[in-house]
Structure formats: C-alpha cells, structure tokens
Amino acid sequence: MRNILVTGGAGFIGSNLVDTLLAEGDWNVTVVDDFNDFYSPDIKRANITEHLKSRYYNLVELDIRDASALERLFAVVSFDVIVHLAARAGVRPSLSEPKLYAETNINGTLNLLELARIHGIEQFVFGSSSSVYGVNEKVPFAEDDQISRPISPYAATKAAGELICHTYSHLYGIRMVCLRFFTVYGARQRPDLAIHKFSRLITDGKPIQVFGDGTTRRDYTYVDDIIQGVRAAIDYDGSQYEIFNLGESQTTELSELIELIERSLDMKAVIDRRPMQPGDVPTTFADISKSRELLGYSPTTKIAEGIPKFVEWFRSHS
C-alpha cells in the first residue's frame, strides 16, 4: 500500500479522484480539505460520504495556508505522492478577492512544496488551469505557448504555481507534473459553474445570465476523462518536470451548450443578456497531442453525451 495525499479531496475533481484510488485498493488515501464557504460545505461532505466508510481513507480538515497544521500532518504520515488540487477557484471571484487567491493558491502551494522537499517526496501533481493561456490567439493551445499575459488574478496564481513547481523540481529533484484542466463538468460539479448553475436555474424557471452574445467557446471536459489524466500523472516518470493539457480537444459555443442543456432537461431557458465580464476569455481549446503521447490520455466523452449524463446526476441529487 502506498500513501497518497490529495488536497482539495472533498471537492469536485478531488472526490472523483478519491473514488478511483479507493477502488484500486492499492492506496492509503489522506484527504486535506478546509470545507470553506466558497460554496456550501454540505455539498463537499456529501461528496465524501462513501469515502468515510473506507479504512483506507483519512480526512484531515485544515487550510493549506496553515503551514504548522500541514507540518503536523507530515510528521505522522509518510507520503509517496502528493496530488495538489486545493485552490481558490474561479476567474470572476478572483477579481474581488485577489489577496485571498494569492494567499491560498501561491502560499498554500509553497507550503506543500516545502514539505515535499523536507520529507523527500518524489512525485508531486499540481492542478493548474487553462486560464493560464489568457487571450491566446493561437488555437488549439499547446503547453509551450506563451503564458506571460494572464487576464485574471486566478490565472496569474495558477501560472505562478507552475513556476514555483518548476523551481522545486530543478533545485530538489522532485518530479513535478502540472495539469492544465479545461472546463471540467460532470457528477459533483461545483454549483457556481455554468453547466450546473444553468441546469438549476432552468429547472427553477429562473433566467440564466449569458455574458456576451453567446459565441464564446469552451473546451468542456467530462470529469471521468480528467480523472483518467490525473491518474496517469500519478504514475508518470518520463521526466522531472512536465506540463500537460487535459481537455476534450474540441470546442462548444455557449449558445450550443445552452441548447444541449435545454434538450436534456426538456425545458427552455430564459436568457438574461449581460455584457462580457472582465477576466473572461473568448475561447479555450486544448491541444492534447502531448498528453496522448506521454500520458496515454484518451478522452472519450463528447459534450453531446456528457451533458445528458450530467443532467441525470443533477436530477438525482437536486
């Protein structure tokens, strides 16, 4: 049995990863989560109900900004791998709370990297974001594209996290795998994200806010495909530092997304048009050729299949 730490392990992506790790039966899984009020902590607690029944699962409630609390954890558990998914998420909220985003996403990441250095942990997987690409005129986005012009505090903190990871890999020989997630959706999706929010509002007969003219495009990625990529990154040993895109490598226009949700719900949306928001990018589009080659990453769920799957989960958990 190997010991793995999953930060943010009660959240959307983290709890789905823990499902996979516990099902494998080869891991003692420790989850760190602070159950903050970004959205209802009850949702996260519901995510881990089954996990708590496993003797191979240990939940530690702490904030990754608290270096002393992390040090106490690392003093009693010897980890083989860290998967760092804990973060303050979202572009728009970061505009109003940039200091909180920097403290959590940069300082919190640094706390974990320091402990990885001190305790000789050899594998560190960092959850980054497609937001780091900013307004990238070259599509699809490749890992070696320029990311020096982020347009939101959230994006800047994720780019900074990648750079800090590179520094620790270079100086201390820790293998770092940075994963740029592209608009993840599926079971347990956060309630603030568009697909979940739209589904709830349409179901309640309330208007959905559409920012811009509906022509923005996103590379929507089903959570099961993301987990496939994260799981491959845990075992990756091809180099000391790599960045990988995890997306579906196809884009969907916002207006088309709304139509897919409407069809799956068998309900019509009431549209409330709003201006484009600061920090929003017009397009995200992942080049996943590197991930296919080096991780064996192979996403299988297209958006036309994924939205009905999400709606099925949404209706059973509303």
Residue positions annotated with a catalytic role: 154
DSSP string, 71-120: HHHHHH---SEEEE------HHHHHH-HHHHHIIIIIHHHHHHHHHHHTT
Q: Which two tokens stand for residue 85?
A: 């998914």
208 pairs with which residues across the strands?
271
The residue written with tokens 């019509």 in the block is 268
- Name which of 114, 108, 131, 94 is nearest 245 in CA terms: 131
- The amino acid sitting at 277 is Q
Q: From CA 76, how far away is CA 56, in angstroms rounded?
A: 16
Measured CA to CA, the distance from residue 133 to residue 145 in angstroms comes to: 8
Write the CA distances from 312 to 49, 187, 222, 265, 279, integer angstroms: 20, 9, 14, 9, 31
> What is the phi/psi pair of residue 133, to 5°?
-75, -20
3-state SS class at 228: helix
Please give the Cα distance from 315 to 78 (Å, whole number): 41
Helices and strands per DSSP (H, E), number in the chain: 12, 13
CB distance 218 to 251 below 8 Å: yes
User: DSSP strand E in the chain: where?
Assistant: 2-7, 27-33, 57-61, 81-84, 123-129, 175-181, 184-185, 208-211, 217-218, 221-222, 241-246, 252-253, 271-274
Separation between Cα atoms, residue 32 and residue 85, nearest integer Å: 10
